Each structure stands twice: as C-alpha cells, then as structure tokens.
C-alpha cells in the first residue's frame, strides 16, 4: 500500500493548500450563494464528463441544498457511448451557448462551472452565455493547468478568465498526480475529491450565512431515515418554482 498511502497524503496536501489559499474565494462564493437564495433566485451547476461528477455531487442529496440545479447534456455525460464522443462534443463551438439557452437560467441566478483544464469551447461558451443572460458565473478550475495549455475556444480565453470569480483546485498539471517507476503516465486524479470538498464547504458556509440572516436553508434530509421522505416531499413542494430537475 506504499503508493496508495502516498496518494492519500498528496490529496491531503492539496486540500490543505486549498484551505490556506482559497479561503477568501470560498467565503466570497458562499456569500454569493446565500444572496442568490435570499433574493429568490436559484443556483445551477455544470460540468463535462468527470467534471460533471461535481454537478451530481451537489444536487438532490442528503445535506445538500434543494435549489441547486444540475445542467446535464446527454452527449457530455460518462454514460454516452462511445464515451470518446464527450471529448469531441466539448470542443464544438457554440454548443455551450445552446445548452445554457435551453436551461432555466435567468437574470439574478448563479452558475457554477467545474472544469479542470478550463480550455474547451463548451465550458467557455456556457460561461459567456450565462453572463449575457444576467447570471453570475463562478468557476472551479486548475489555474496552473490552464496557464500551461492554450484555449480551444474562439475567444482564446480560459475559464478562469471569463468567470466572475475562479476557485483554484490546487491540483497537479494534467490532474493525475502520482509517479510510479515503470509507468510513463502519472496516476491518480485529484480533481474529483478536491472539487467535492470545495463545493460542500461552500454549501456548509452558505447555510451558516443564511441562518445568521434569519433564513432557513432548504436542506435535504436523508430519504433513508424515518420521516426523511415526508420532509423532502414538503421541501420540494415549497421550492418547486426554483427547482428544475423534477
């Protein structure tokens, strides 16, 4: 388990780096989440392929906010066959624009976009279109990675350059992190665990901010505890105008 433990230690180092370098950004975004909820607007989240796992992490789950809406496109998800189609589709110009235009995003909403490299057109176009529609846009990306590759978008911009605020996941270039003798490629991605930690920390802080303002956050119970189904049913009904995944 020598290298497995090295990987765990490395992930812990990344999380500590996020804690030390991104705390102001995390708090800023939590305040944006809270103000979005307070004003009667809603929150959307978007990512492609493995980056989309963070969208799945954030919605309709125990301890999560009911009004976080994922944007899923069938050709960008990992159940697409052939799965290599996802890599081709995220490079199609203006596809991201159409995805956002087809969503329920409106003036005053907030869109969180997760992309490790932040270089492909679907992500850049989605961010720019959401801003045109009056939404605030936050990115989670890898700044070092983005600075070592070129944009594939016609704007020549990277995600961190077009969002209102970017959170750095502080991971390794190319995302994979561990070198093992005899293997040319690095192994062990860190963006998923880092991304999940980042978004959950934002949700926790958002709820704390709302409580301080006297606002009860719309948080799901587990459906696997007694009374959980009934509680969640009432929550979904109360916030149905701001929920777009039912």
Residue range 39-79, pLDDT digits in tens: 999 999 999 999 999 999 999 999 999 999 999 999 999 99
Taking only the tens place, the pLDDT of each residue in 202-233 is 999 999 999 999 999 999 999 999 999 999 99
Beta-bridge mates of residue 47: 114
Q: What span, in angstroms and rounded, lies between the C-alpha atoms of 29 and 166?
A: 9
DSSP string, 186-229: -EEE-HHHHHHHHHHHHHHHHHHHHHHTT----BPPPTTSTTHH
pTM: 0.97
* 3-state DSSP assignment of residue 113: strand
Q: What domains can be seen in the chain, in order of their start residue?
A: 2-242 (3.40.50.10490)
Residues 81-130 have pLDDT tens digits of 999 999 999 999 999 999 999 999 999 999 999 999 999 999 999 999 99
- List, for residues 2-34, the tens digit of each pLDDT value: 999 999 999 999 999 999 999 999 999 999 999
SS (H, E, C) 27-86: HHHHHHHHHHHHCCCCEEEEECHHHHHHHHHHCCCCCCECCEEEECCHHHCCCCCCCCHH
Any idea how long the chain is?
Answer: 246
pLDDT level of residue 171 (50, 70, 90 thresholds): very high
Question: Does residue 1 carry a pLDDT above 90?
Answer: no
């Amino acid at each position: 388990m020598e290298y497995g433990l090295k990987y765990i230690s490395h992930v812990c180092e990344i999380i500590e780096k996020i804690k030390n370098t991104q705390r102001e950004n995390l708090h800023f975004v939590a305040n944006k989440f809270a103000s979005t909820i307070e004003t009667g607007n809603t929150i959307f989240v978007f990512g492609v392929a493995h980056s989309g796992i963070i969208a799945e992490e954030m919605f309709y789950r125990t301890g999560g906010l009911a009004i976080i809406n994922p944007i899923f496109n069938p050709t960008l998800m990992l159940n697409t066959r052939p799965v290599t189609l996802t890599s081709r589709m995220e490079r199609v110009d203006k596809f991201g624009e159409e995805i956002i235009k087809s969503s329920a995003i409106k003036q005053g909403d907030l869109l969180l976009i997760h992309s490790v490299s932040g270089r492909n057109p679907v992500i850049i176009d989605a961010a720019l279109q959401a801003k045109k529609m009056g939404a605030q846009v936050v990115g989670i990306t890898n700044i070092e990675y983005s600075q070592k590759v070129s944009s594939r978008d016609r704007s020549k911009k990277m995600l961190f350059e077009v969002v209102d605020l970017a959170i750095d996941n502080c991971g390794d270039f190319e995302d994979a992190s561990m070198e093992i003798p005899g293997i040319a490629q690095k192994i062990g991605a860190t963006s998923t665990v880092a991304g999940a930690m980042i978004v959950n920390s934002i949700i926790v802080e958002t709820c704390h901010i709302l409580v301080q303002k006297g606002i009860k956050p719309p948080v799901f119970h587990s459906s696997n505890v007694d009374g959980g189904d009934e509680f969640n049913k009432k929550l979904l009904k109360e916030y149905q105008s701001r929920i777009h995944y039912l």
